[in-house]
C-alpha cells in the first residue's frame, strides 16, 4: 500500500508550522514565526503567540498544500500537537486541525510535541532505530528520553528542573548585551573565546545528583555574578571568553548525560533535536563523545530541529502506518501533556 499522506499542525510555542509528509518523505514544511514580535520582550509572550497563530493558521495551511502540490482531499489524516506547550497557542492549532479534519472527513491524530521532535528525524535519516535515546534542547524544553516505539513507548529519563538550555543561552546573551534569541549570538561570540578561560559550574553532575536531570539556573547566575563583578571593578568583560566558557559547561553537561543515558540503557543511537542542536560546540562534543562510546549520532538538519509542522506530520504518518487509533473529536490541548 502507499505510504500515508499526512498534514501536521504545530502551534505549541511561537512558530505556526504546517508540514506535509508521505511516510518518511518531506513534501512541505511551511513555518510562520512570531519570534520578531517577541524579541523586544526578551522572551515569548503567550498572548502575542496565540494571536499570531490565529492570523497565520489558514495562510500557512494553504502554503503547505501548494508547496507539496497535493489536494486536501487526498490526505490520509490530519495530525496536530496536543501538548505540551503554551495552552492558548496549542488551542489555536487543535481547533484548526479539528475543523479541517472534520470538514474533510479525515481522521485526526493529537500528538505529543516531544515525541514529534524525535519522529522528525525519520524525514532526514529514514526509519528511527528502536530504541533511540533523544536529547531535546530548545528554549522551552530540555529532556532526555528513550523511544522504544515512537508512537506508543517514549519514556522520559530526565528533564531540566529549572531553566531550559535555550533559555540559559538567551539569559546569558542578555547579560552580555547580545541579541535575542541569544543562542546564535553566544555561538558566534564563543568562536573567538577560550572555553577553558573560566570554569563555570556543571549543574547536577555531583555523585548524589539525579543522573539524567539538568539544571541551568545556577550556571546562569554564576555567569551573571562573574560579569557583574568585572563591571563593578571597572574592568572590561571578555565577552568571547565568557560565551565560550558558558557554552562549554552546557555542552559538557548535555553530552555527558546523553551518552551516559545511552550506555546505562544499552541504547546504540542518540538523536539530538530542538533549537539548541544548532550549537556548534554541542555538535562537535556530541560527535566526539558518541564516536568514543560507539554510539551512532543522528541530528536532523536545523530547519527540522526547531519547531515545525513536518515533525507533527511525521509522527502522524507513523501512527497511521502502525495502525494506531485516531483521536476523537473531543481532543483538547494539554499544556503539560506527558509523553
Ligand atoms: O526549538 P526552538 O527554535 O524554539 C523553542 O524554544 O521551542 O529553540 C530556540 C532556542 C532559543 O533559546 C535559542 O537561543 C536556541 O534555541 N538556539 C541556540 C542556537 N541556535 C538557537 N542555542 C545555542 N546555540 C545555537 N547556535
Ligand atoms: Zn519544541
pLDDT in tens, 230-249: 999 999 999 999 999 999 99
Fold of 5-120+308-321: Nucleotidyltransferase; domain 5 (3.30.420)
pLDDT exceeds 70 at position 1: no
Ligand nearest to the CA of 113: 2
> In this predicted model, what pLDDT tens digit does every residue of 14-35 receive, in sequence order?
999 999 999 999 999 999 988 8
C-alpha cell at 208: 548524589
Region of 262 (left: φ > 0; alpha: ψ -120 to 50; beta: rest) is alpha
User: Torsion angle, CA of 161/165/168/172, rounded to 10 degrees?
Assistant: 150
Residues with CB under 6 A from ligand 1: 13, 138-140, 166, 169-170, 181-184, 187, 274-276, 278-279, 306-307
141 is in an annotated binding site: no
| SS3 label, residue 320 | helix
Q: Pairing mode, if any, of strands 108-112 and 77-83?
A: parallel
Atom of ligand 1 nearest to the CA of 170: 14
Region of 185 (left: φ > 0; alpha: ψ -120 to 50; beta: rest) is alpha
Is the Cα torsion angle 204, 205, 210, 216 positive or negative in sign?
A: positive
Ligand nearest to the CA of 302: 1
CB 315 within 8 A of CB 111: yes
Does the domain made of 132-303 have the CATH classification 3.30.420.40?
yes
> In this predicted model, what pLDDT tens digit does every residue of 39-73 receive, in sequence order?
778 778 898 999 999 999 999 999 999 999 999 99
Every domain of the chain with CATH number 3.30.420.40 lies at 5-120+308-321, 132-303
315-296-120 Cα angle (round to 5): 15
Residue nearest to atom 5 of ligand 1 (CA): 139
**Ligand 2 centre from 21 Cα, in Å?**
19
Amino acid at each position: 500500500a502507499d505510504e500515508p499522506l499526512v498534514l501536521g499542525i504545530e502551534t505549541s510555542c511561537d512558530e505556526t508550522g504546517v508540514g506535509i509528509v508521505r511516510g518518511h518523505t518531506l513534501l512541505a514544511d511551511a513555518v510562520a514565526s512570531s519570534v520578531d514580535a517577541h524579541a523586544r520582550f526578551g522572551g515569548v509572550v503567550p498572548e502575542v503567540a496565540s494571536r499570531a497563530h490565529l492570523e497565520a493558521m489558514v495562510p500557512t495551511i494553504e502554503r503547505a498544500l501548494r508547496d507539496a502540490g497535493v489536494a486536501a482531499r487526498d490526505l490520509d489524516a490530519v495530525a496536530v500537537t496536543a501538548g505540551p506547550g503554551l495552552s492558548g497557542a496549542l488551542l489555536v492549532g487543535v481547533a484548526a486541525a479539528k475543523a479541517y479534519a472534520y470538514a474533510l472527513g479525515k481522521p485526526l491524530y493529537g500528538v505529543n510535541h516531544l515525541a514529534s521532535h524525535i519522529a522528525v528525524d525519520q524525514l532526514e535519516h529514514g526509519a528511527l532505530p528502536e530504541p533511540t535515546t533523544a536529547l531535546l534542547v530548545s528554549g522551552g524544553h530540555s529532556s532526555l528520553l528513550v523511544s522504544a516505539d515512537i508512537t506508543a513507548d517514549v519514556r522520559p529519563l530526565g528533564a531540566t528542573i529549572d531553566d531550559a538550555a535555550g533559555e540559559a543561552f538567551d539569559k546569558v546573551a542578555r547579560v552580555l548585551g547580545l541579541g535575542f534569541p541569544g543562542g546564535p549570538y553566544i555561538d558566534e561570540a564563543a568562536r573567538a573565546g577560550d572555553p577553558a578561560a573560566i570554569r563555570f559550574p556543571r549543574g547536577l553532575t555531583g555523585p548524589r545528583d539525579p543522573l539524567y536531570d539538568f539544571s541551568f539556573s545556577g550556571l546562569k547566575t554564576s555567569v551573571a555574578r562573574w560579569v557583574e563583578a568585572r563591571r563593578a571593578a571597572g574592568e572590561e568583560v571578555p565577552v568571547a571568553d565568557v560565551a565560550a566558557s558558558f557554552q562549554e559547561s552546557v555542552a559538557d553537561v548535555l553530552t555527558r548525560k546523553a551518552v551516559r543515558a545511552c550506555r546505562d540503557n544499552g541504547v546504540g543511537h542518540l538523536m539530538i533535536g530542538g533549537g539548541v542542536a544548532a550549537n556548534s560546540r554541542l555538535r562537535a562534543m556530541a560527535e566526539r563523545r558518541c564516536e568514543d562510546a560507539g554510539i551512532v549520532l543522528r541530528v536532523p538538519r536545523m530547519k527540522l530541529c526547531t519547531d515545525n509542522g513536518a515533525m507533527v506530520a511525521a509522527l502522524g504518518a507513523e501512527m497511521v502506518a502502525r495502525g494506531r487509533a485516531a483521536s476523537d473529536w473531543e481532543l483538547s490541548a494539554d499544556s503539560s501533556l506527558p509523553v
